[in-house]
């Protein structure tokens, strides 16, 4: 079995029909539920929701919104499908009609060209109103207005309204969605390869209804892209003894967990999570998992960084890197308990930056708050504790 590779085609050699660099035929052997889960993994999650002028239910390879406060750190040149900078009125104006001096400097965002202003409240609209010549953002294709962001559609206008109703004031939702959440961006090619990776891992879950031979097309696509490294995946924790595993807790992932919904008890612990998606139905037990968190500074939805992991583990991990055991052993340090006589019993390895400890038996400790007290504050606490003990 080998790939066609004509015009970068990833279909199998001597295939019928047109060449295709991104053929879904590689996972055609899967059931509808699995295909659906893969396709969702290729979509940007509407985390900010419509109120941030974000676009829902679209592929990751789409125009992104870069918040002005992230503009300097975002990898702008990597957004192959375009970007637009979002500013709040207070970021752009010093007062009514008074644009901040920063925006006349070279390289500053230009409203209406590569940036827009988002109004979220009636109050903002009154206190820092749009400039007289500004228009609501709109989309056009060949000069004709369109309502969807389709290929070739061009944005114009300077501002967008996402204002909720307040007392006697009605809601005002004007201007189309401007793009997706930038940290979720992926090019069409990386998005496709990430899907291949996830499909391969689906086929290798415990009790999966598929056999390894069915995943062979996926394997050669990943091999061709230099991405097929099962031994490395074992060291990274997304595979264990040939079966898919959760990179955080290292438990094997059962096929059914890809589709079973989490229990109500587990759901309660997810409600606190910042990643909880608005209006979403209950989460499945196992979800898309990024080994390195998605950030504004890099593009991290890449095949080398995706796995299937427990929704609960994802929540516990938060915006932290999931350090593999192998990495802690090779780069971290041993940690142990010192008893009264000075005897040390080691029980795990800690990351160099002290963010995570793992035991070889699977336990994980995560630092949830960093050191932040001054020497003076620490001394005050030490004094208090001394008095407290004496009482």
Check binding of 329 to Zn ion (CB under 5 A): no
Check binding of 290 to Zn ion (CB under 5 A): no
Check binding of 238 to Zn ion (CB under 5 A): no
Closest to Zn ion by CB, 9 or 225? 9
From residue 150, give the alpha-carbon distance in Å to each of 13, 40, 81, 145.
32, 19, 12, 11
Tell me, what DSSP letter sits at residue 291? S
Task: Give the nearest distance from C-beta 63 to Zn ion in angstroms.
Answer: 29
Task: Give the nearest distance from C-beta 201 to Zn ion in angstroms.
Answer: 14
Closest to Zn ion by CB, 108 or 249? 249
Q: How far apart are CA 187 and CA 225, in angstroms?
A: 15
Closest to Zn ion by CB, 84 or 313? 313
Check binding of 273 to Zn ion (CB under 5 A): no
Closest to Zn ion by CB, 178 or 202? 202
User: Which residues in 291-310 contact Zn ion (CB under 5 A)?
Assistant: 310
Q: How far apart are CA 4 and CA 383, in angstroms?
A: 73
Check binding of 19 to Zn ion (CB under 5 A): yes
Choose among 352, 301, 323, 265: nearest CA to 181.
301
Beta bridge partners of 261: 284
Closest to Zn ion by CB, 163 or 250? 250
**Which residues lie below 8 Å from residue 61, measured CB to CB, with a gap of 6+?**
80, 81, 185, 186, 187, 188, 191
Closest to Zn ion by CB, 15 or 35? 15
Residue selected from 117, 313, 351, 364 as contacting Zn ion according to rule CB under 5 A? 313
Burial of 358 (0-12, 13-18, 19+ CB in 10 A): buried
Task: Give the nearest distance from C-beta 295 to Zn ion in angstroms.
Answer: 22
Check binding of 366 to Zn ion (CB under 5 A): no
Task: Give the nearest distance from C-beta 240 to Zn ion in angstroms.
Answer: 12
Check binding of 246 to Zn ion (CB under 5 A): yes
Task: Give the nearest distance from C-beta 230 to Zn ion in angstroms.
Answer: 20
Residue entry with tokens 């499908």: 81
Closest to Zn ion by CB, 9 or 273? 9
Q: Which two tokens stand for residue 228?
A: 């097929």
CB 214 within 8 A of CB 31: no
Task: Please provide the DSSP assignment of 212-240 as one string.
Answer: GGGGHHHHHHHHHTT---HHHHHHHTSEE
The total of other beta-carbon atoms located within 10 Å of residue 187's CB is: 17
Distance of CA 107 to the CA centre of its chain: 28
Residue selected from 136, 249, 329, 366 as contacting Zn ion according to rule CB under 5 A? 249
Binding segment for Zn ion among 36-44, 156-164, 203-211, 245-253 (CB under 5 A)? Answer: 245-253
Query: Which residues form the interface with Zn ion (CB under 5 A)?
Result: 4, 6, 9, 11, 19, 246, 248-249, 310, 313
């Amino acid at each position: 079995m080998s790939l066609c590779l004509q015009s970068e085609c990833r279909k199998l050699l001597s295939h019928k029909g047109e060449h295709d660099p991104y053929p879904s035929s590689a996972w055609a052997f899967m059931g509808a539920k699995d295909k659906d889960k893969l396709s969702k993994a290729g979509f940007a999650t509407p985390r900010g929701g419509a109120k941030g002028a974000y676009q829902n239910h679209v592929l990751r390879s789409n125009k992104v919104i870069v918040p002005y406060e992230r503009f300097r750190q975002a990898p702008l040149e990597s957004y192959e499908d375009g970007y637009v900078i979002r500013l709040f009125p207070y970021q752009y104006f010093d007062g009514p009609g008074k644009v901040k001096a920063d925006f006349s400097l070279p390289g500053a965002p230009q409203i209406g060209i590569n940036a827009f202003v988002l109004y979220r409240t009636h109050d903002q609209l009154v206190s820092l109103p749009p400039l007289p010549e500004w228009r609501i953002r709109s989309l056009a294709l060949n000069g004709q207005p369109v309502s969807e962001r389709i290929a070739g559609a061009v944005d114009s206008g300077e501002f967008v309204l996402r204002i909720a109703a307040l007392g006697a004031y009605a809601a005002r939702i004007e201007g189309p969605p401007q793009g997706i959440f930038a940290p979720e961006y992926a090019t069409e090619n990386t998005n496709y390869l990430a899907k291949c990776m996830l499909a391969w891992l689906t086929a290798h879950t415990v009790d999966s209804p598929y056999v390894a031979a069915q995943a062979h097309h996926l394997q050669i696509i990943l091999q061709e892209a230099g991405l097929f490294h099962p031994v490395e995946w074992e060291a990274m924790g997304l595979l264990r003894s040939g079966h898919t595993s959760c990179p955080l807790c290292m438990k094997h992932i059962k096929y059914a967990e890809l589709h079973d919904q989490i229990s109500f008890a587990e759901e309660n612990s997810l409600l606190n999570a910042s990643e909880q998606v608005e209006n979403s139905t209950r989460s499945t037990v196992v979800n898309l998992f990024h080994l390195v968190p998605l950030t504004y500074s890099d593009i991290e939805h890449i095949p080398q960084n995706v796995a299937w992991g427990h929704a609960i583990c994802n929540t516990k991990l938060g915006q932290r890197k999931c350090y593999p055991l192998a990495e802690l052993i090779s780069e971290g340090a041993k940690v142990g308990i010192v008893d009264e006589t000075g005897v040390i019993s080691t029980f795990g390895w800690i990351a160099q930056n002290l963010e995570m400890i793992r035991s070889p038996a699977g336990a994980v400790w995560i630092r949830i708050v960093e050191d932040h007290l001054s020497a003076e504050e620490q001394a005050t606490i030490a004094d208090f504790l001394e008095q407290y003990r004496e009482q």
